[in-house]
Amino acid sequence: MAAQRILILGGGGMVGQKLAARLASDGLNGRPAGEVTLFDLGFPENGAPAAQRLTGNVTDTARMAELAAQRFDVIFHLASIVSGEAEADFAKGWHTNMLPMWHFLEALRAEHEATGGAYVPRLVFTSSIAVFGGPFPDRIGDDFLSAPLTSYGAQKACCELMLTDFSRKGILDGVSIRLPTICVRPGKPNKAASGFFSGIIREPLNGLPATLPVPDSVRHWVASPRAAAKMLTHAAEFDTAKLAERRALNMPGFSCTIAEQIEALRRAAGQSAVDLIRREPDETIMKIVQGWPRDFQTDRARALGFEAETNFDEIIAIYMEDDLPHASARQ
Amino acid sequence: MAAQRILILGGGGMVGQKLAARLASDGLNGRPAGEVTLFDLGFPENGAPAAQRLTGNVTDTARMAELAAQRFDVIFHLASIVSGEAEADFAKGWHTNMLPMWHFLEALRAEHEATGGAYVPRLVFTSSIAVFGGPFPDRIGDDFLSAPLTSYGAQKACCELMLTDFSRKGILDGVSIRLPTICVRPGKPNKAASGFFSGIIREPLNGLPATLPVPDSVRHWVASPRAAAKMLTHAAEFDTAKLAERRALNMPGFSCTIAEQIEALRRAAGQSAVDLIRREPDETIMKIVQGWPRDFQTDRARALGFEAETNFDEIIAIYMEDDLPHASARQ
């Protein structure tokens, strides 16, 4: 049986790279992932292995149609601008995070029709818990409405709806996975409002000071980069007939407070690491974070075999195992 | 104070005509609706009064930008192809029911920016309970997810998300109202799968035979055309600040069975009218109807002042008052 041809849109980003590395080591559907093509604006040096690295932008409709014409067996769509940027630049957000999905789905439909309906790729789309907006119940269940309070969330929710409808029509076999906050993100601090969730662990483990802009009581929904990569490959492997046309899934994670994160850091690296965290309350960040979901009941995804960590000690251990050895080289 | 300038996209359709007639008789915001512009593919003869009737298609992006440039104070967006057509012609559905909304919102954003942010029209969009797909709870509440099982429903849900995000940014002041099945629809039978809900009342009241393709036990969610027109004008008048960025509202209606409809018909027009209903089970229609919501708990809309009928006798009385006198002239 031939190895599957795989495309990762956004393959140069942190999650895309973790996914490419996992495909190289573990394959897909019990087979080696022979040909993995990464597509992104750019790629890290010494990045994950891939057969091809293509530089380009999802907003380039002609280019995306060329990619569609290559008829990959499995497509991971991870490409988007981040929440903060989509909020700051309204037009860029919609033109990057929503409209290219429409054009790409149409390009895939053209391939489907050109093959008399034989070409039906698996398409795994990384959506986000940003599709939810408050007020929330204590735990968000699988039937809770998408009422996003950011442009990023609205764009992701639109993409989910389109992907589901194209799938219902048999044009492709899509699934949207709503990822938790990914923690601990490796690499340098970024400007995302959620950056401190990773920063207060990553920086102290690297002997660097970190800033905590919110109170210890703040609760959020997290999973590791390793878990995210595994969710993506599982989303490409499982039997989508079980979705019964509800093709957007809240991914497992676990709900923890900043205080619990800090206690886990203390257990992993001692009080000297915890002492590197400086409390600098930031009203703006606090306000953004208050709008985010804090806890989920992810029965559907768990029944379908999706998994995540269950405590923060595990999350820290994964960072120390997967990323800490390379941290200084990358920073 | 100057009368408001009002645009009705889809103003030639049944609900658009009811709305135009209501605006002519009752005005808007306590003021006469001085200038009402209707835009549609065509208009009925002897239709509702309007200052202008413009023939055109919402898929004509340049034409829609010209309309946006007229900076109407209030815009009602009712234009779409129906559920059955959107299901039969996938591309036409998305190209008529979704993409024109995006282009129109962008055209309104250009006007907003050209006026330094001063132009912020009220935009009332008729969404549908087709944004919901089973499995359902016994009653659908205000927090239930949109998981449509038709292209029409997915297109409406996408439009809702876009409208909400443009509104959140202050570009316009939008509200999406999810209308119940409108019953009793005046005029000729149409090919909509839901047509029989009106047909089994309308035809017997006009002395004509009607076909009932589903069992008496089928339950659905209904409101009259008069109630729909009132929901639309109320949606243009109420204080949207109360929506707290959840700008898609399930409209009130009432849940009734076919058996209850038939009993009301008997009370209104006697056994001879009921005898005109022929039972002709249709598996295809039954299957479609089983996918539709049956009952709602519309607390938010009711708290915001939206109203509907509470029993089917009222629905029949409204048809007999508003439409039966003209039925023979129009058929």
Q: Which residues of A are catalytic?
A: 152
Query: Could you tell me if B267 lies within 8 Å of chain A, comparing CB atoms?
Result: no
C-alpha to C-alpha distance for A193 and A284, rounded to whole angstroms: 9
Give the model's confidence band at A329: pLDDT under 50 very low, under 70 low, under 90 confident, else very high.
very low
Instruction: Report the sign of the C-alpha dihedral through residues B203, B127, B64, B36, in that order.
Output: positive
The residue of chain B with its CA nearest to that of A154 is B161
Query: Does residue B38 have a pLDDT over 90?
Result: yes
Give the model's confidence band at A328: pLDDT under 50 very low, under 70 low, under 90 confident, else very high.
low
Residue ranges and CATH numbers for the domains of chain A are: 5-179+225-250 (3.40.50.720), 195-221+253-296+309-330 (3.90.25.10)
C-alpha to C-alpha distance for B137 and A263, rounded to whole angstroms: 41
Which tokens go with B153? 């429903």
Summarize the confidence of residues A34-38 as an average pLDDT: 91
Burial bucket for residue B241 (CB in 10 Å: 0-12, 13-18, 19+): exposed
Summarize the confidence of residues A113-131 as an average pLDDT: 97
Summarize the confidence of residues A18-41 as an average pLDDT: 92
Of B181, B145, B185, B149, nearest to B255 by C-alpha is B181
Choice among B43, B76, B152, B312 that is catalytic: B152
Q: What is the pLDDT of residue A124?
A: 98
Of B289, B319, B308, B125, nearest to B214 by C-alpha is B289
Query: Could you tell me if B54 lies within 8 Å of chain A, comparing CB atoms?
Result: no
Q: Please tell me which of the candidates A142, A146, A245 has its beta carbon nearest to residue B133.
A: A245
**Order of strands, sheet of A254-257, starting from the edge strand that comes earlier in the sequence:** A181-182, A219-223, A254-257
Query: Could you tell me if A326 lies within 8 Å of chain B, comparing CB atoms?
Result: no
Summarize the confidence of residues A269-297 as an average pLDDT: 92
Which tokens go with A185? 């993100």
SS3 B21: helix
What is the residue-averaged pLDDT of chain A? 94
Per-residue pLDDT of B210-256, as tens digits, reads: 999 999 999 999 999 999 999 999 999 999 999 999 999 999 999 99
Instruction: Name, in order, each residue with C-beta under 8 angstroms of B268's C-beta and a sequence gap of 6 or more.
Output: B205, B313, B316, B317, B320
Q: How far is A55 from chain B (nearest CA, A)?
A: 28
% of chain B surpassing 90 pLDDT: 86
Q: Which of A165, A175, A245, A249 should we substitute to test contact with B (largest number of B Cβ atoms within 10 Å)?
A: A165
Query: Does residue B30 have a pLDDT over 90?
Result: no
Summarize the confidence of residues A132-137 as an average pLDDT: 92
% of chain A surpassing 90 pLDDT: 86
Query: Does residue B330 have a pLDDT over 50?
Result: no
Whether residue B148 and residue A154 make contact (CB cut-off 8 A), yes or no, is no
Q: How far is CA B123 from the centre of its chain?
A: 14
Query: Does residue A74 have a pLDDT over 90?
Result: yes
C-alpha to C-alpha distance for A8 and A247, rounded to whole angstroms: 19
Residues composing chain A:
331
Burial A132-158 (b: 16+ CB within 10 A, else e): bbeebeeebebbbbbbbbbbbbbbbbb
Contact A231, A283 (CB under 8 A): no
Summarize the confidence of residues B100-120 as an average pLDDT: 98
Q: How far is B86 from chain A (nearest CA, A)?
A: 12
Give the model's confidence band at A30: pLDDT under 50 very low, under 70 low, under 90 confident, else very high.
confident
Summarize the confidence of residues A219-228 as an average pLDDT: 96
Point out the least confidently predicted range of A197-206, B39-48, B180-189, B265-274: B180-189
C-alpha to C-alpha distance for B331 and B326, rounded to whole angstroms: 9
Summarize the confidence of residues A12-19 as an average pLDDT: 96
Helix A151-168 to helix B151-168 angle (10° resolution) is 170
What is the residue-averaged pLDDT of chain B? 94
Summarize the confidence of residues B145-166 as an average pLDDT: 97
Whether residue A154 and residue B145 make contact (CB cut-off 8 A), yes or no, is no
Per-residue pLDDT of B276-327, as tens digits, reads: 999 999 998 888 788 889 999 999 999 999 999 999 999 999 999 999 877 6
Residues composing chain B:
331
**Cross-strand partners of B175:** B124
Contact A158, A152 (CB under 8 A): no
Q: Please tell me which of the candidates B145, B151, B161 has its beta carbon nearest to residue A158.
A: B161
Q: What is the pLDDT of residue A190?
A: 72
Angle at B295 between CA B314 and CA B292, to 5 degrees: 110
Query: Could you tell me if A149 lies within 8 Å of chain B, comparing CB atoms?
Result: yes
Query: Could you tell me if B143 lies within 8 Å of chain A, comparing CB atoms?
Result: yes
Query: Does residue B183 have a pLDDT over 60?
Result: yes
Whole-number Cα distances in Å, A167 to A122, A163, B134, B166: 9, 6, 17, 28
Q: Please tell me which of the candidates B94, B145, B168 has its beta carbon nearest to residue A144.
A: B145
DSSP B67-131: HHHT--SEEEE-----HHHHHH-HHHHHHHHTHHHHHHHHHHHHHHHHTTT----EEEEEEEGGG
